[in-house]
Structure 1
């Protein structure tokens, strides 16, 4: 679920003047009316505005300068298309089949270049090593050998990007290759990463590079030096600055994803104790974590299309205790853990404990097939990580468990199914 930041002043600006436009065109058989435009802040998609289709064309007017990642999401069909902005008009054509996007054709220069570079980089990382091995079996003077040499030369070549003409394409690919490539030109140090995050321009927040670079930074420091690494970075950035708060927010989420609870608690406490002006980005992180703390009343959620219940919401479910589990049919850990819940389901029922499964699936057939084996309450919006409850309940990974009392107060947040069963003395 993506945070909505729609300001009346921004909406007024849209009606007055556009800095650039985003034009998305689909085939006539694409059964979608509404589309939502997002920009990016760190790893968070930010809603800008919504538009209705006019002859299978969606046109968004963007009122101010923006360079970075963008996305258009089609909520009715759960499709999305990603692209970049270099503060110039954007044109994208999508090809669909059975209401699913099959192909994306970028028609503006910046996105054509970015797409070409991305395809080339994938081939370089995946195909080039295979060609090097194959070449050993063919002589260079044969037709196939010549073709191999030519293709390897193409894949080995550097992508020359005009920084003045395509600043974001240059920024993204230069820094991806330096900090995240599987074959970097030289080893990157912790100090290199700290300097980059500290001194980079605003495209860092809009590039999608920030979170993976932070994960890389923690990995470079090693598991035994997380405290020192994070404190060094936080001290350099200053958490009273917008960038410092964005990084702090990203780190809290990273610690949440990887079950590093002590670190999450430490830096979330730091965030809550700030006396300065808090950015929207950090405020949303504090709010979502506070709403799902032990002792808080589980945030309200009305079921979308529930099975095995007549209840209209999680709060309406009557039980002495409730186990809410967020899962997906594509999650390997869920595949292992949910059958363990199933094996103890009758024992849980005997204690008047109800299980509520909230799925982050997108495929209706996969979801319905899977829940046929689960007799407890199941519900899904079939929108994956675009599901509204993902942000409401601060879900970063599956499975995620909450145990509620009869009044819907959070009394435990088990890490694994074994912790759930141990809580109820069923292990």
Structure 2
């Protein structure tokens, strides 16, 4: 987590504050600025910023700030460190945020209502889990919990009528049996009815994290123990797409992009490409979203199991120098393509270790192709003479170098391990992981 650091010019205003969003952050020393955005299905609209001083903050909202869903960002990256706030333009909002616990609302009818609903339903879910874990034979006890769950759901739906919170309470309604169910039947019914009350075209839900969190929880949480992870994930992804079949294409694209990114972040390349190939890429192409199309295709092109993007290089076999391509190399059983830079201290530490590791292997086992991403060739030329056993490629332009862009390189060193056919078989994070890959 990185603190937000901003320099703002505050302009005088003639608009008077109507309501406020204020509260505390804990630990106080970890936070210094907060940003507020209004969230719509299409975008996040900047509203205001405020300093967090001694753990306290306050947003003053004037009459131009309309009711709806808002997102409070408290650290970087913004996509990770935020929470949603319901603002109905009729009340002050007070809250506390704890790094371990999360957000708790102490003032605001709608947000407190959501807090209470979430806490009550979570407690009932724990009671159901405890019942099944105890292997109790008292079937009436379970039926009583189901009845209580139904009463709580109905109570909050009634209390939320006419509010923004109503959309969330209705959409979050679980399947509630009216009679006893075994644990297997209960879990099956939870999965079967998981999206029954979710309206993917509800703009309030679209303007929050609810829908993305819902589909992520389904994909990773509603799994079958008899199936492998990938089989579970792919089957659940199909279910998710089927559940939102009536949603607008822009919403489908947005939600599937979030799910795709989640797979990327978790290193689940096969599942990320499954989403892209089956659903997301066709949606992006139809929407003429060229940036997303390029991102999806580029990611797949450097995924494990694909043939590495080809490029030209020069190799010296004693003398003279021979021009060739990566795909034409036949000098080793495996290859390491490493992107590095003479100005990267981490690289200058790892590249010598890579050289020493290669020396421990049998000749012809591993060939290194070292691509130097550089602004100028001066330092690179001075350093590469120390690595005559490597095949060297100079990539001028550094971060805008076409070869670096082809391999989606945004940090150095970056490693790709290829087999003899130039298929990507591993992408270790550092020299230690690379060494472990070959030794184990």
| TM-score where L is the length of structure 2 | 0.48
| TM-score where L is the length of structure 1 | 0.49
Greater relative contact order, per chain length (Cα 8 Å cut-off, separation 6+): 1
